[in-house]
Amino acid sequence: MQYKKLWVAFGLVMLIGFAVLGGVGYKAINNGPPIPGQVVTADGRVLFTGETIRDGQNVWQSTGGQEIGTIWGHGAYVAPDWSADYLHRQSEIVLNRWARQQGATSYSELPAEQRAALQGRLTELTRRNTYNKATGTLVLDNDRAAAFDELAAYYADVYGRGRNEYAIPAGALSDPTKQHQMATFFFWTAWAASTNRPGQEVTYTQNWPHEELVGNRPTGATIVWSVISFVLLLAGIGAMVWYFGSQEHRPVTERMPSRDPLLGLKPTPSQRATVKYFFVVAALWVVQVALGGIVAHYGVEGSSFYGIPLAKYLPYAVARTWHLQIGIFWIATSWLATGLYIVPAVSGREPKGQCFGVNALFVAVVAVVVGSLAGEWMGIQQKLGNLWFWFGAQGYEYVDLGRVWQILLFVGLLFWLWLMWRGIKPALARRDENHSLLLLFLVSSIAIPVFYAAGLMYGQRSPLITAEYWRWWVVHLWVEGFFEVFATVVIAFLLTRLKLLSVSTATRGVLFSTVIYLSGGIIGTFHHLYFTGAPNSVLALGAVFSALEVVPLVLIGFEAWENIRLSRGTAQSPWISAYKWPIYFFVAVAFWNFVGAGLFGFMINPPVALYYVQGLNLTPVHGHTALFGVYGMLGLGLMLFCLRALRPAWRGRTVR
């Protein structure tokens, strides 16, 4: 087998990567912050139960969850991080209570020596773990119990009367029982963030958030593994440059075709049927951009859009949920449609009924998009009752759509995979020079529904760390991982069909880049889980492998320049310039891959950096420049490539 070594390397990377991700993830979930069976005061009074905390988590999710404020740093950015907010307010309430017992009106009026003594007392009280695993009971001192009563009333007011500065409209949550339940969940997240793990001097969330009043500062491991990640990044860059320099770079001597190889080819019925997918992509893109402007403006006015009381009909939580979900929808739709377009071109024939399948899938995709968006609006507006999880919004970023819509989308992806398989099966049977590239095409196609299914691995009552672990499988491995591998293979096929790239060069390049990318990318998923209740091993692995993810991006400028040269064409092949706009988008992908995913990503990836900037605006800078800059630009480039091939008469101005 011509590419045996690369396939062996690919297999080892997959095997080792997922063994580590699965094994360490299992340990992290089983050692996450415990939810006590009941929380009682020192005199035995029951404050609330574990079921109340779980109910509170569900209430928080139903109001928008991570789309309105954050928990442990994950979520939206206008409202506070509720775990950090609760912890800080609780600390101030207790300190002021103690200060009044000493005759002062408030903690801030005490002399420095007394403030230091009270702060030390608070740190010892807060960080001491009083959870009894055998009985499932958490004993809470009377001071923090009193603080809970005060804060429960405060959060009820926030969600009941609304807060303009948090973009929370009045009446966001008006049920007193649900308000109380959500306050217990906020308490529990703050308790996990400020209580030491048994036998350790570090909290369940690695001392996050930073809170001087209770001694929450970066741990030694946070600093050490951050330094190690910098060293490994430099070493990895050096090794990559050394390897690149050791290779013999011969100029391309193959003669490019004098005319467009796709010109004159008659599109098949299923290929023509993909055009409507791309119109939907364009429409969703416009809507998403408009929603982005609305969401950004809510950060200024809170509940209005230039004086228009828009929050009555489209509150911030709904607008941001739609903004994220529509982004995922149009990018994924573009890539799926490109796959359906490329299959007949690869196999040289169209299976019977393929066009009907493409049209049926289109109807299903539109139904899921419209149904899920309507459900999210109704769920966040508290109009679905107990069905919010199934038909409304789950409250977790990027996987917000209700579970029923999630299952239907998964079924649609399986149907798409079947359409792909029946199309490329004849080409695989030929075992020609395209065989290895086709195999990787098939593997990446299988990975798309498989890794989306990770979002079905947690339930409505799952602990937060469980949901976070599987959520990042979808975001990091589905969107950023195997969809990128799939798109890379598709681009390689398109370039080989245009005779601009030899099959052997394309196959070797795609396999090599896949191995390099996934070697850091799979285990690098852990860098999203530093402060979500995971142990030190997650922090170490996430820091190391997220640094290695950046290494391949160092040489991405070469790819950009090759694409620029391609777009210019030659005197013998002027037709290439007709594809300049799709190729320009591929250049943009290379640029934003380095800047958005690489530079901006590594700015926040070291644990000590993320410790201070988690949940702040550097996170959306990375998110926008990586998700739209890389995957969005790639989706638009693939769309333009297919439309150019389907509509050769289109001029450059029309495409723009």
The pLDDT value recorded for residue 250 is 58
Q: Identify the band that residue 574 occupies on the pLDDT scale cut at 50, 70 and 90.
A: low
Is residue 271 within a helix (H) or strand (E), and if so which, with residue range?
helix 269-273
Pairwise CA distance, residues 580 & 19, whole Å: 42
Q: Furthest-apart CA pair in the chain: how many Å?
A: 91
Choice among 195-199, 263-267, 608-612, 617-621 with the minimum mean pLDDT: 263-267
Query: Strand 137-140 vs strand 38-41: parallel, antiparallel, or unpaired?
Result: parallel
> In which residue ranges of the chain is CATH 1.20.210.10 found?
4-22+221-244+274-655
Average pLDDT value for residue range 402-412: 97
Q: Identify the band that residue 596 occupies on the pLDDT scale cut at 50, 70 and 90.
A: confident
- Which residues are within 8 A (CB) of 535 and not within 5 positions of it... i.e. 6 or more apart? 27, 28, 31
> In which residue ranges of the chain is CATH 1.10.760 found?
31-209
Q: 558 or 32: whose pLDDT is higher? A: 32
Contacts made by residues 601-604, CB under 8 angstroms, sequence distance 24+: 601/546, 601/549, 601/550, 601/626, 602/233, 602/546, 602/547, 602/550
Per DSSP, helices labelled H in 162-250 are: 176-194, 220-246
CATH of 31-209, picked from 3.30.1340, 1.10.760, 1.10.357, 1.25.40, is 1.10.760
The pLDDT value recorded for residue 223 is 96
Q: 557 or 323: whose pLDDT is higher? A: 323
Note whether 202 and 194 are within 8 A (CB).
no
Tell me which CATH homologous superfamily contains domain 4-22+221-244+274-655. Cytochrome c oxidase-like, subunit I domain (1.20.210.10)
The pLDDT value recorded for residue 255 is 61
Q: Identify the band that residue 264 occupies on the pLDDT scale cut at 50, 70 and 90.
A: low
Give the predicted TM-score (pTM) of the model: 0.93
